[in-house]
Every structure is written in C-alpha cells, then in structure tokens.
Amino acid sequence: MELMMTADDLIETRPDGRFTGMPLAMALIIVRRAMWIAPRDAATEPSSLRVAFDGRPQVRLDELGDWEPIASDRCA
C-alpha cells in the first residue's frame, strides 16, 4: 500500500495490485501498525488521525486500533 500524509492529521492510502479489494478493516490494521508500532501509556488520550482508503469515506483511526466513520460534512 502507498501511504501519503496530505495534511497534519490525514493519511491517504491506495492499494497496489496485491491489495486491490482489501476490506477497510484490514487496511486500517496495516495503517495503524505503520503509524504506531505500539500504543503509548494508557493514562494518555490516544492519538488519532483521519484515514482515506482507496477513495472510500474517511474514518478516524486511533493508536489503539479503534476506528469510526467521519460524517462527510466534517471531512474538510
């Protein structure tokens, strides 16, 4: 997968041929491991960023691996 950080809190990723058709959840596992090798101390608020995968609606992914869709009016 190709990862591009196009804003301070936005990762855009596109699959190459081997990953075409990959489910979003699997792509987010790869992105999480690329961005955070291990979560920080549990006492701190988890870091998060927006992820756009292969033209699909953006999601917010945190360092613990939790993710949620972002409403389209908040994507900008």
Apex 33 CA angle, 18 and 23, nearest 5: 40
pLDDT of residue 72: 67
pLDDT of residue 28: 93
Domain count, the chain: 1
Query: Please, which residues bridge with residue 53 across strands?
Result: 13
Does 66 reside within a domain?
no
Does 24 reside within a domain?
yes
pLDDT of residue 73: 55
Does 20 reside within a domain?
yes
Does 16 reside within a domain?
yes
Sign of CA pseudo-dihedral 71, 8, 51, 20? positive
Does 30 reside within a domain?
yes
Per-residue model confidence as pLDDT tens for the chain (76 residues): 889 998 999 999 988 888 888 899 999 999 999 998 877 777 688 889 999 998 889 999 999 999 999 986 554 4
Does 17 reside within a domain?
yes
* Amino acid in position 53: F
Domain that holds residue 20: 1-43
Does 76 reside within a domain?
no
